[in-house]
Amino acid sequence: LATPVEMDTDVLQLLAKVVGRDDLIVDRDLMGAYETDATGRFGERALCIVRPSSSDEVADVLKVCGRASTRVVIQGGNTGLAGGGVPCDGEVVVRMDHLNEIASHEGDPWHLVAGAGATLAEVREAARKAGLEFALDFPARDSATVGGMVATNAAGPTALRWGPMRAQLAGLEAVTATGAVLSRLVPVSKDNAGYDWPALIAGSEGTLAVVTRARLRLHTPPAARDVFMIGAANYDDAVGLTSCLRSGLGSRLEALDFIDRPSVELVCATRRLREPLPATHGVYLVGTVLTEHEGDGPALELLARELPDLPDEAIVGAVDGAGRRRLWEYREAINEALRARGEVHKYDVSLPLQRLPSFAAGLTEDLARRPELAVYLYGHLGDGNVHVNLLGVTGFDRALDDLILERVASLGGSIDAEHGVGLAKRDHLGLTRTDAELALMRDVKRMLDPVGILGSGRVVVSEERP
């Protein structure tokens, strides 16, 4: 799909007609912010940035690009960690921030309808104003958008209790690569009439359609939320505690994350925080317990009953807002602390919970041969989701990718848990998906995007263009 210069000029003029001159950015200096991502690893020169203001404008942008065979990448808040939302050379970046309207009480008081460009923080605030809550929350909340969250099927700590973004969807509006606007925003909670295409678009990382609006489920806020931190000697103990907490607390356990010792040390040094517990530990568990109704009994007492043998110095709890934020800060601040040290090489994987200790031990053994690397592990323990973060890797390191992702596959895990495949892991998709599954994915992609303009080369690579 080489694009001759004269065709680019035509495309730019046509795009300016669709979105207006002010929402077509071609100035190299202004484009820079949209061309690199939160990891600092991905992104090339874009042809231009366009900022449509409605679903119809999105459709017209895609029609213009489709006719010219000009590739497009969709960008929400650009907090993605898999390289899926930043341009490859010469792509048009479709930035979704103008589609940010939020409407509460749209036919169902337990739903809200949000534009793709609304941020997670804005959705949470709109839900709060309606006296309700949106289930998901994670540190990129001020920038991550509804469209990006649907596209990556984002999750975060509370997905343990409420499920990922796909589970929060009561309806969707999206535009296919050919410019067809698909709308399923009716205010019903159950809808089995025909194929569930919104479920297919969720997690498709901008390769099948552009999300323009979403009908999101809300829930009643719990009566209380208590936070705890527990120190475990090692991953075997951490997994044992997890099984105990999950079976003992059931649906009252809203979140259960883990942080390894190097990550705790990094956050303490960067944020100038005190040690979270009186003694040091190999692995730290941080979690939230809900009291859904008054009279359910204090959550932290229930927790103490479930863990009678835990020494006092290995557990701390918080019931007030400041205390809760303080304990979660050790987990939430890791990303930023790592980024401050340079380029971060990230793997977001999931494993059957019982195999997490083998994974961690194998990784330590493998990486001992690469002393230049600093390894930080944390993640959503209750879901078996591990974020492997490495400092000291320069550029792309295929041997390292193979080593880590093959180990995950050999233990029966998944090479991607919640961040997306994007460009980062597309060459490894075959490790955990069969040839038949990959062929189906390519067929679906070809059907919805026959010219191959949308997020091309991300997630699943077409056979013609390896």
Ligand X SMILES: Cc1cc2nc3c(=O)[nH]c(=O)nc-3n(C[C@H](O)[C@H](O)[C@H](O)COP(=O)(O)OP(=O)(O)OC[C@H]3O[C@@H](n4cnc5c(N)ncnc54)[C@H](O)[C@@H]3O)c2cc1C
Among 92, 154, 245, 391, binds ligand X (CB under 6 A): 154
Determine the 3-state secondary structure of 413 from DSSP. Answer: coil
Among 55, 70, 75, 263, binds ligand X (CB under 6 A): 75
Answer yes or no: are the C-beta atoms of 448 and 177 closer than 8 Å: yes
145 binds ligand X (CB under 6 A): yes
Closest to ligand X by CB, 198 vs 422, is 422
Task: Select from 226, 243, 225 the least CA-distant residue to 235.
Answer: 243
Least distance in angstroms from the C-beta of 294 to ligand X: 30
Q: How far apart are the first and last CA of the chain?
A: 14
> Beta-carbon neighbour count of residue 373 at 10 Å?
15
18 binds ligand X (CB under 6 A): no
Determine the 3-state secondary structure of 169 from DSSP. Answer: strand
79 binds ligand X (CB under 6 A): yes
Closest to ligand X by CB, 314 vs 384, is 384
351 binds ligand X (CB under 6 A): no
74 binds ligand X (CB under 6 A): yes
Least distance in angstroms from the C-beta of 119 to ligand X: 8
Least distance in angstroms from the C-beta of 125 to ligand X: 17
Task: Select from 257, 290, 412 the least CA-distant residue to 349.
Answer: 412
Closest to ligand X by CB, 47 vs 367, is 47
Q: Compute the distance between CA of residue 402 and CA of residue 181 in angstroms, rounded to an integer.
A: 39
Residues 168-197 binding ligand X (CB under 6 A) are none
77 binds ligand X (CB under 6 A): yes
457 binds ligand X (CB under 6 A): no
Residues 269-308 binding ligand X (CB under 6 A) are none
317 binds ligand X (CB under 6 A): no
Contact segment (CB under 6 A) with ligand X among 16-24, 76-84, 241-249, 433-441 equals 76-84
Q: Who contacts 196 (Cβ-Cβ below 8 Å, separation ≥6)? A: none
Residues 32-71 binding ligand X (CB under 6 A) are 38
Answer yes or no: are the C-beta atoms of 150 and 214 closer than 8 Å: yes
Q: Which two tokens stand for residue 274?
A: 């005190």
Q: Compute the distance between CA of residue 24 and CA of residue 47 in angstroms, rounded to an integer.
A: 10
Answer yes or no: are the C-beta atoms of 221 and 132 closer than 8 Å: yes
76 binds ligand X (CB under 6 A): yes
Closest to ligand X by CB, 38 vs 360, is 38
Least distance in angstroms from the C-beta of 67 to ligand X: 21
Least distance in angstroms from the C-beta of 260 to ligand X: 17
Closest to ligand X by CB, 80 vs 413, is 80
Closest to ligand X by CB, 204 vs 432, is 204
Rg (Cα) of the chain, in Å, rounded? 23
Question: Up-side HSE of residue 252: CA atoms within 13 Å toward CB?
Answer: 23
156 binds ligand X (CB under 6 A): yes
Among 116, 214, 338, 360, binds ligand X (CB under 6 A): 116
Among 85, 317, 357, 382, binds ligand X (CB under 6 A): 85
Residues 196-215 binding ligand X (CB under 6 A) are 205-206, 210-211
335 binds ligand X (CB under 6 A): yes
144 binds ligand X (CB under 6 A): yes
80 binds ligand X (CB under 6 A): yes
147 binds ligand X (CB under 6 A): yes
Task: Select from 409, 374, 379 the least CA-distant residue to 392.
Answer: 374
254 binds ligand X (CB under 6 A): no
Residue 246, Cβ density class (10 Å: 0-12 exposed, 13-18 middle, ≥19 buried): middle
The H-assigned helical ranges of 250-333 are: 261-271, 299-306, 321-332
84 binds ligand X (CB under 6 A): yes
149 binds ligand X (CB under 6 A): yes
Task: Select from 303, 384, 390 the least CA-distant residue to 338.
Answer: 390
Q: Compute the distance between CA of residue 374 and CA of residue 352 in angstroms, rounded to an integer.
A: 25
Report how many residues bind ligand X under the rule CB under 6 A. Answer: 38
Identify the sign of the CA torsion 340, 395, 36, 140.
Answer: negative
81 binds ligand X (CB under 6 A): yes
Q: Compute the distance between CA of residue 243 and CA of residue 255 in angstroms, rounded to an integer.
A: 13
Q: Compute the distance between CA of residue 264 and CA of residue 281 in angstroms, rounded to an integer.
A: 10
CA distances in angstroms from 322 to 225, 290, 458, listed in the order given: 12, 17, 41
The residues binding ligand X (CB under 6 A) are 38, 73-81, 84-85, 96, 116, 138-140, 143-145, 147-149, 151-152, 154-156, 205-206, 210-211, 335, 418-420, 422, 455
